[in-house]
């Protein structure tokens, strides 16, 4: 099955990002395909390479980047949501890119299922 993932919460304030990451890892391990991960609303904070979690905490920004590199996953950050939150191209972690909502629409068309994490 081909999945697209929509993440609407940041990595440090809500469980949604953790759940999305673990779902994606499990889906890949089960032989499924991830067409795209789209970060929207506060989810754009998952792309900020300047974030520095405590040493005893997980670093979801880095984890998403590594997962994308290993599995060639398209990580797209919504441009409008990013601009509202001060997330600019120059602070994106490797593997993330900024684009518009058309990428979310395409993801919904191309995937068998779109899974939404966050409210």
Which position among 78, 92, 104, 107 bears the catalytic label?
78
Give the residue carrying structure tokens 């919904």.
108
Look up residue 41 and give its DSSP letter: G
> Is 28 one of the catalytic residues?
no
Distance, C-alpha 63 to centroid of its chain: 10
Q: Which residues are catalytic?
A: 78
């Amino acid at each position: 099955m081909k999945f697209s993932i929509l993440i609407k919460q940041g990595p440090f304030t809500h469980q949604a990002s953790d759940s999305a990451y673990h779902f994606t890892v499990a889906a890949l391990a089960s032989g499924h395909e991830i067409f795209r991960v789209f970060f929207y609303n506060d989810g754009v904070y998952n792309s900020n390479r300047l974030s520095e979690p405590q040493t005893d905490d997980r670093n979801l920004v880095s984890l998403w980047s590594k997962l994308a590199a290993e599995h060639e996953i398209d990580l797209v950050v919504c441009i409008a949501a990013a601009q509202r939150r001060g997330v600019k191209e120059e602070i994106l972690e490797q593997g993330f890119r900024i684009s518009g909502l058309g990428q979310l629409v395409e993801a919904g068309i191309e995937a068998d299922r779109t899974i939404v994490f966050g409210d």
